[in-house]
Amino acid sequence: MSRKAAGPEIERLIQILARLPGLGSRSARKAALSLIKRRNDLLLPLTEALNVAAERIVTCDLCGNIDTISPCTICEDERRDRSMIVVVEDVGDLWALERAGVVNARYHVLGGQLSPLDGIGPDQLNIPRLIERARPPEVVEVLLALNATVEGQSTAHYLREQLAPSGVKVSVLQQGVPVGGELDYLDEGTLAAAIKARRSL
């Protein structure tokens, strides 16, 4: 018989924390204990931050990003290149590109990728809004920054066909050797893609 070391409120906190990615039950117990011990400088500010987030976070009507305003901060940013839309699968991908700081355009979050096995078709994705947005002369290029997986590339091909009538330029990310990658450790698929996409120096 398992014995409980804490009351139901604390157990519930641990159970919820354990559902977060990266945390198992043991890590959740540590996190809960840390929060409880640091009530004033961690637990209460976290509670407040979570409450505010739960109340104010919305999905951007334009691009599907998450923010506390709609249109989101990125869509409203006048300094961004409005002639380009970067299409990503998920908000996590948008954040990754923003962290890298390599593109200064607006985004469009699909909310998933085509997956026949999971029954995810075009109707389940944020595609109609993209077709509406990607119209010349304001938009000149749509960059499909999607995963180099079968589902990601199937989605990219589908979007290319859907965007073709609009006349915008459609581009995709290059595939090949990652920075710092050693050929010896690369999988055959990546090597094949890198060879196919070779360029003259």
* Residue ranges in contact with other proteins by CB under 8 A: 21-22, 114, 116-117, 121, 148-151, 153-154, 157-158, 160-161, 175, 187-190, 192-193, 196
Q: Between 7 and 21, name the residue whose CB sits nearer to other proteins.
A: 21
| Residue with smaller CB distance to other proteins, 75 or 146 | 146
Report in angstroms how near the CB of residue 22 gets to other proteins at its nearest: 7
Q: Omega of the bond prior to 137 within 30 degrees of 0, cis? A: yes
C-alpha torsion 147→134→138→61, nearest 10: -90
Least distance in angstroms from the C-beta of 111 to other proteins: 17
Taking the complex as a whole, how short is the minimal distance between the CB of residue 121 and other proteins, in angstroms? Answer: 6
Nearer residue to other proteins within complex by CB, 50 or 164: 164
**Is residue 98 a contact partner of residue 73, using CB atoms and an 8 Å limit?**
no
**Cβ-proximal residues to 162 (8 Å cutoff; 6+ apart), any chain:** 122, 127, 131
Q: Which is nearer to other proteins, 8 or 185 (CB)?
A: 185
Contacts of 133 (CB under 8 A, 6+ apart): 62, 63, 85, 108, 139
In angstroms, what is the minimal distance from the CB of 198 to other proteins? 14
Q: What span, in angstroms and rounded, lies between the C-alpha atoms of 59 and 28?
A: 29
